[in-house]
Amino acid sequence: MKRELTKLTLAILFFVFVIGTVQAQQSNPTPVIGPVEQALTGDRLTAELLWSMGRIGEVAVSPDGTSLLFTITYYDLAENKGNAELYTMNTDGSNFKRITFTNWGEYNPVWRPDGKKIAYMSAESGSMQMWEMNADGSDKVLISNIDGGIGGFSYSPDQTKVLFLADVEKISIVKSRYNDLPITTGRINNDLMYRHWDQWVDAYTHIWIANYDGKQLSDAKDIMEGEEWESPVRPFGGMEQISWSPDGKTIVYTSRKKKGKDYSLSTNSDLYAYSVETGKTRNLTEGMMGYDVNPVFSPDGNTLAWESMEREGYEADKVRLFVMDMKTGTKQYLTEDFDQDAHGLVWSADGAKIYFVSNWHALDQIYAIQPKSKKIQKITEGVHSYNSVMVAKERLIGTRMSHASPVELFSIDETNGKQERITEVNTKLLSQLTLGKSEERWITTTDGKQMLVWVIYPPHFDPNKKYPALLYCQGGPQSTVSQFWSFRWNFQMMAANDYIIVAPNRRGLQGFGQEWLEQISCDYGGQNMKDYFSAIDAVAKEPFVDAGKLGAVGASYGGFSVYWMAGNHNKRFKAFIAHNGMFNLEQQYLETEEMWFANWDLGGPFWDKNNKTAQWSFANSPHKFVQNWDTPLLVIHSELDYRIVASQGMAAYNAAILKGLPAEYLYFPNENHWVLKPQNGVLWQRTFFNWLDRWLK
């Protein structure tokens, strides 16, 4: 649940068809999309326009620090597909070029260490494989030919080897017992973690290493052979969880080496160092009990930095910046006096600094820390959120978004913090739209705290009119309501439909210190719900808000919030929308797969009658308040969501119908915790606003 928003850049691989034609000339770097021009009938954002926008994905800086390689994905509603293509440009924003024009998409863009070639993954040959070509897109060559395809790769620094990800099939109980039934579809499970987020666990992703002669891979070896666990750590881990040492002799990787029930109950992932020369592996973080992920070597290879959580079972713990002396094994906690997270670690070229991204007061900025002194410098300012930072020759490169724009690339001058946008992927389209103003407010909560609330106004806002208002309930539950741009929960889309949006950073969100973040654990239905009421009540007093036309909407924990408020809102709201929300916490406890989350946030199992914390949590389950429901409810849920299963949504919808309330149930049989397919996304938006307009306008 937390990771649904903390990971707004999931590597989702589609076999795809390009939308329109993209003109990529230096004089006009903005991609021009034919269907977008036809869809612009006014100056307001629509679902169709939202899905026509280009989405910048993975970005790589060339070895000499002067060029960028990255993907942009466009979607075709008619084909119901997306397509990622490769682009290059100089780090100063000049010489923007599109270098691939295919029907199958390109992913995992990487510069070869010598800078003479670029590499990527593509399914052009039938399965996802590694390809190379010149930086201008010419002379494309297939490098790998791995059965079943690969899921990511990286070169050794000396360019003699390549590591890649490939699945190893899990031994099936059915096949081992009954090999005379080769086409049975039955499954037999005898442990937990048999499915995870949106997939059944039928294989383990392992790291393989192969020789590379500049033309192809050979002699591939599974460095985790015989192990029944994966690296990277599912479901969201990628190549950022694996790092080569600068001398190419060591691979440090992330793994949670547990199985079944043990895996389901623990977040204890560790960093393992594999010796390329000896084939031996050692645990670098043994005894560190939380998540230890995303290792990054210093340029000289003497120091390893990584992101670490302290407590086992707590997936929203503080993300600490640790370093280790690779010769002595001595560890240092660099951000102990910094009450913020540290994400996306990158060393400076001289090894004197580590750059990272951190959220404070709902804004994600770029920081730098000097490992020797532990001195921290805030580099960027402004109302925006950076997702990542990279080091180029004379500047930093960052991916930045806001309530007014999806991700674009920015060049940052570290000496003065000056930020310059160097891509214009969606500028032309956005320049033709009128967007709503996003305003920061601080509202007093019921316990006297100050809470940051974003208020987003409709385009062409008229203070003399009265508008309906929507309370946005965040998921996670521990993920900040930052200056994010979502392609589903998009504040500008809501505002374009003439709603005032009230988006609180209630208790349990990052960026306001650890105490504020942790208050929500074992307090579902408690102070954070009071925070929601404080936010909507304060804004509803404004003369431009129609206090008789308020709605509440949210997904995941936000869906739980909507269900809970449906039984406790005291006539505040006239309409509710809950997407993939928890309805019956007792059932949810036994339906979810990551038991560490349920145990930490709910306090333990519902059958433990001596556990007062758990009993309080389950007593506040939304299904315990259905007798109070009196408000129209739209339920949205998806079959492939194994984190919060579809029966939760069905139960809530059925309860509303049995109560005699107006209700609808939007069900997606082929989506997971998100809605990722274009036509499903447009259907989601249309259903969302049809429901709200019916009850609030």
Closest CA to 52 of 24, 29, 76: 76
Which residue in 52, 388, 556, 561 is the catalytic one?
Answer: 556
Handedness of CA 298, 304, 310, 312 (dihedral sign): positive
Structure tokens at 631: 């408000």
Q: By C-alpha distance, which of 676, 688, 692 is closest to 73?
A: 676
Order of strands across the sheet that contains 450-456:
438-444, 450-456, 500-504, 467-473, 545-555, 575-579, 633-638, 663-668
> Would you say 632 and 657 are in contact if contact means Cβ atoms under 8 Å apart?
no
Q: Which of 343, 403, 579, 673 is catalytic?
A: 673
What is the spatial distance between Cα 645 and Cα 639, in angstroms, rounded to a whole number? 7
Helical packing angle, 527-540 and 557-566, nearest 10°: 70
Residue 268 near residue 256, CB atoms below 8 Å: yes
Cβ 68 vs Cβ 89: under 8 Å: yes
**Separation between Cα atoms, residue 252 and residue 284, nearest integer Å:** 9
Q: How far apart are alpha carbons 493 and 507 in whole angstroms? A: 26
- Strands, sheet with 55-61, edge to edge from the N-terminal-most edge strand: 55-61, 67-76, 81-90, 97-98
- State the helix-helix crossing angle for 612-619 and 595-602, rounded to 10 degrees: 100
Q: Is 673 a catalytic residue?
A: yes
Q: Is 641 an active-site residue?
A: yes
User: In 3-state terms, what secondary structure has residue 308?
Assistant: strand
Asked whether 119 and 141 are in contact (CB, 8 A), the reply is no
Strand partners, 419: 412
Q: What is the 3-state secondary structure (H, E, C) of 597-631?
A: HHHHHHCCCCCCCCCHHHHHHHHCCHHHHHHHCCC
Instruction: Name, in order, each residue with C-beta under 8 angstroms of 603's C-beta and a sequence gap of 6 or more.
Output: 522, 611, 613, 614, 616, 617
Q: Are the CB atoms for 75 and 51 separated by under 8 Å?
A: yes
Give the whole-angstrom CA distance, residue 5 versus residue 551. 22
Please, are residues 274 and 223 in contact by the beta-carbon 8 Å criterion? yes
Kindly report the backbone phi and psi dihedral angles of residue 210, in degrees, each rounded to the nearest multiple of 5, phi listed first.
Answer: -135, 155
**For residue 337, what are the CA distances in angstroms to 181, 330, 508, 578, 629?**
60, 19, 20, 39, 46
Task: For the beta carbon of residue 633, count every other beta carbon within 10 angstroms.
Answer: 25
Distance from C-alpha of 479 to C-alpha of 496, rounded to nearest angstrom = 25
Torsion of CA 373, 410, 6, 318, to 10 degrees: 10
Q: Based on the residue annotation, tell me whether 579 is a catalytic residue of this protein.
A: no
Q: Which of 133, 130, 138, 136 is nearest to 155 (CA)?
A: 130
Q: What is the 3-state composition of the chain as percent helix, strand, coil, each rounded to the nearest 5? A: 20, 30, 50
As a residue count, the chain comes to 697
In the chain, count H helices and then E strands: 15, 38
Q: Is the peptide bond before 232 cis (omega within 30 degrees of 0)?
A: yes
Q: What does the block give as tokens for 287?
A: 């005894």
Q: Which of 270, 292, 601, 641 is catalytic?
A: 641
List, by residue number, the catalytic residues. 556, 641, 673
